[in-house]
Structure 1
């Protein structure tokens, strides 16, 4: 089928729109991680790190799309522990004992996120005792190369999840490519505003790290065959973000009232 015939079919546009939305939603996790890491770099390097990190995400996704047959094969079991795990209400195993390469990658990525988020929470709560070098402003110091290496590692995990989602939605490679490019373009546009918002609101940093902890647990669970519906995860994230937005609005109003009254606004 030619591209003209493919994109003249309304079903193609419906699949493309659905896939773009899914890819954008899946990209939120990747974007939060990139924003937190890039904010630890000197101001002159932050935008460069974000652009490079998102560019690597696009490159990995397009590379993986060119290897669809290999990617699809990642779901085939490579070994089986042969354990008799606990069973569910209907007698089925509550977790998988056969693991594919996809499962192992998700578990490794989840463990990395748990380690990284826990470490960053420790640094945020008690930077002086964390044992990590600090910059002149007392923030955790991070080299450009270390930031890009960590971004690349998580890009790989999120890219594989993204491409497997695309494969499950459509068989048309052009549709997958367009959806991935549009979704990464949205990430690129949102990267700097999101990073600036996180940097300007310290409480949001802790919330974002909490999101990364939750995402890490979900990745590990998925690797063990325990599938948590993504809708629950993003609903919880949206609720938490909504509550924090109300807190920020209330804090800003309080600071404005204090400023008008001649007091000194308190920063939290």
Structure 2
């Protein structure tokens, strides 16, 4: 126990908590949006149990990854289609590819649905069409996919399991505390749900980019990086990702303010004409 209570481990814990908070934003956003697909009376319980189960499985995943990281890093096969598709594929590559594609599919499907509905009441009833168990299962599944990014990043800081597990448990507690607030905000400000779906779309692109370097980083061999038609698949930097998110929020805030200003001017003009 005394070996754990060191300045180095304390610093690593603080860094990991910050990392989990930053990388967990997109996860919390997905949980808040997906939970609204469940029956209204069960949405809060869905968020709670979805996060609890996902955090428990994330700790298990972390333990497994620490024990089997070398085995998982080995590429399953190496593609050598010169000029078309080249590079190595390992377990993390598959997770990032499938997870990214699924997130993009989910975001595009929900955006398309929003464009197709004629009445908001219809939209709300559609969102409550999934069973609570199905929504919990989706939250757990997507949380595990999101967790690969944060777990792999955490392992780059330390491999001390108790420190890593503590950081994950604290991030799970934070998600439980914030999930209801984020969901309530999205329900009151539905235009931000569209913004959230576009952020999820970017997250899917980020995960697809991460797949290109998964095998190369794991084996410390740049020749295993994926190349598509001669171009290397390079992941989007976290700085670029969060800059894109900030720009989206700024555009939405400015557009909302401008729309309110136009509405006031039109109301004032209509009132003056009526007199």
Does TM-score exceed 0.5, indicating one fold? yes
Following superposition, the deviation at residue 158 of structure 1 comes to 1.3
Unpaired segments ≥5 residues, structure 2: 214-233
Deviation of the 1:247 alpha carbon: 4.5
* Residue 66 of structure 1, aligned match among 53, 63, 82: 63
Distance 2:38 2:268 in 1: 36
Post-superposition CA distance 1:63-96 (Å, at most 9, x none): 112212224532221111112247xxxxxxxx86
- The answer as to 2:106 corresponding to 1:116 is yes
Whose helix proportion is higher, 1 or 2?
A: 2
Q: Deviations over 1:179-229 (max 9, x none)?
A: 111111111111111111111111111111101111111111211222221
Q: Which residue of 1 aligns with 2:179?
A: 191
Ranges in structure 1 where 5+ consecutive residues have no aligned partner: 87-94, 264-268
2:201 to 180, 200, 213: 213
Equivalence for 1:232: 240
Measured in 2, the distance between the counterparts of 1:28 and 1:255 equals: 33
**How big is each residue's C-alpha offset from its partner over 1:13-33, in whole Å with a ceiling of 9 and x where there is no partner?**
221111111111111111111
- Separation (CA, whole Å) in 1 of partners of 2:174 and 2:265: 37
1:105 to 95, 103, 111: 95
What does residue 91 of structure 1 align with?
none
Q: How does 1:117-132 map to 2 (within 5 A)?
A: 117-127=107-117
Superposed CA RMSD in Å reads 2.8
1:46 equivalenced with 2:43 (yes/no): yes
1:132-158 deviation per Cα after TM superposition (whole angstroms, max 9, x unaligned): xx8685543222233222222211211
**CA distance in 2: counterparts of 1:250 and 1:196, whole angstroms:** 24
Runs of 4+ more than 4 Å apart: 134-138, 246-261
Inter-CA distance 168–136: structure 2 relative to 1 (3 Å threshold): closer
Q: Distance in 1 between matches of 2:187 and 2:241?
A: 24
Distance 2:7 2:148 in 1: 28
